[in-house]
Amino acid sequence: MADHSIPQVRTPQALPEEPVVRTTGAGISRRRLLGTAGATGLVLGAAGGAVGHASAPAAATPLSSVGDNRVPFHVKHQPGITQPLQARGHLIAFDLAPGAGRKEAAALLRRWSDTARRLMAGEPAAQGDTDVARDAGPSSLTLTFGFGHSFFGRTGLQKQRPVSLDPLPDFSSDRLDKARSNGDLWVQIGADDALVAFHALRAVQKDAGSAARVRWQMNGFNRSPGATSHPMTARNLMGQVDGTRNPKPADSDFDQRIFVPEKGEPAWMANGSYAVVRRIRMLLDDWEQLSVTEQEQVIGRRKSDGAPLSGGGETSAMDLEKTDAEGALVVPFNAHARITRPDQNGGAAMLRRPFSYHDGIDSDGVPDAGLLFICWQADPLRGFVPVQRKLDRGDALTPFIRHEASGLFAVPGGAAEGEYVGQALLEG
């Protein structure tokens, strides 16, 4: 749970980055049009007594514009990396079926890419659409696809496997469930509407057909758009402001830290990134026994507004040398926010884009809840690994969390018009 904030890329590129597009006017989707027409009939019926009937088409006033927001599929970097946090998320990993290889994988990625393009535009899937999201707009839906270490052996592409995809080292805080870790293929789904996200999850699973089978699947959530009076950094389930110091696109080295360069190695990963995925259970009963002051000492930031204990506001620079009247460090030596700072880790940086999760309450009354930690970097050996090793050696937060699942995936760049994600790898 490193200490960063979520940016939104705005710089124009040869391929567009990931702007949000309003599907209104001439660009309104068929699904949105149907939903709007239905709403109009009900409104006029209620007002004029003719329930379910409208004498002429009229524009309805939506409750909000959340459903209209659309993220393009054909972009330089795959969608779902630089967008603001989405309200609902699904993570799902697949293993190729016995006997399935490179040919079947290519056909699957072509199907998935076509489905992603359609659903992200607010259109139904090409085959067997379930109608779950018929009445909704795209709701900022994104689908992101990646390859695990084992994928390359299954498809005979070992020579194309990046060095950066080597398995993560073991960490002392790991309590990993292998059945819920790694996988040949990984899909991240995010949206600002739960039904839209589930619709995409179901479509991805159906598209897999006989080529791949589900290895594991996880569900997450974040604060809904508009839930606060103004944009704010998200809070996690510990109640902490979480994401203050994420790298920002305005940083001169943002692309260098997050994305593989266009002439990087291997060539098929140009404009791509690497995703580390960790299911981190929060031991909330233990955490909530601490006083607010004790919690702040663990994190190194005020709980109320996320400001560093050294003073200022949320985005103020943390004074690591400041001491109190007794000479003790104001930000404790083992505070989470101190340990995760890039300038305390040789400049190591990663773009965090997590989801919270809650998978019920155990028989002993303990909530199975925490963070689906997802971080993006150009090279996990220079991003995630050094930071996690340092956390492993003495983070004050460690007694209150447990790493229960892990995965590392190579996420290639975005697909150009007429192409599918991963085509340069599978057909190169």
Report yes or no: 31 and 135 within 8 Å, Cβ to Cβ. Answer: yes
DSSP 3-state of 389 = helix
- High-pLDDT (> 90) share of the chain, %: 77
Residue 8: per-residue pLDDT: 45
Q: Which two tokens stand for residue 422?
A: 């991963």
**Cis before 266 (ω within 30):** yes
Residue 48: per-residue pLDDT: 37
- Mean pLDDT for 77-106 is 97
- Mean pLDDT for 2-31 is 49
Cβ contacts of 421-424, under 8 Å, gap ≥ 24: 421/78, 421/109, 421/112, 421/113, 421/116, 421/145, 422/106, 422/109, 422/145, 422/147, 422/268, 423/106, 423/109, 423/110, 424/267, 424/268, 424/270
- What DSSP assignment string belongs to 33-57? HHHHHHHHHHHHHHHHS-TT--SS-
Nearest alpha carbon to residue 317 among 294, 298, 342, 292: 342
Residue 38: per-residue pLDDT: 40
Neighbours of 252 (CB within 10 A): 6
Query: What is the rounded distance in angstroms from the CA atom of residue 7 to the CA atom of residue 10?
Result: 9
Backbone angles phi, psi at 35, to 5 degrees: -65, -40
* Packing angle of the helix pair 102-120, 194-208 (nearest 10 deg): 160
For residues 214-228, one letter each, b for 16 or more C-beta atoms within 10 angstroms of the residue's C-beta and e for the rest, the string is ebbebbbbbeebeee
For residue 276, pLDDT beyond 80: yes
Q: Quick one: DSSP state of residue 299?
A: H
Q: How many CA atoms lie within 13 A of 296 on its CB side?
A: 16
Give pLDDT tens digits for 24-52: 444 444 444 444 444 433 333 333 333 33
Triad 248, 253, 259: Cα angle to 5°: 85
Residue ranges covered by each domain of the chain: 71-426
Residue 426: per-residue pLDDT: 98
Q: Annotated catalytic sites, by residue?
A: 242
Give pLDDT tens digits for 178-232: 999 999 999 999 999 999 999 999 999 999 999 999 999 999 999 999 899 988 9
Which residues pair with residue 214 across a beta bridge? 94
Q: Quick one: DSSP state of residue 110?
A: H
Give pLDDT tens digits for 396-411: 999 999 999 999 999 9
Please report, for residues 56, 179, 250, 329, the alpha-carbon distance to residue 202 in angstroms, rounded to integers and kept in the order given: 36, 21, 36, 51
Residue 10: per-residue pLDDT: 42
Nearest alpha carbon to residue 80 among 219, 211, 275, 263: 275
Residue 264: per-residue pLDDT: 85
Please report, for residues 32, 54, 380, the alpha-carbon distance to residue 51 in angstroms, rounded to integers and kept in the order given: 21, 8, 59
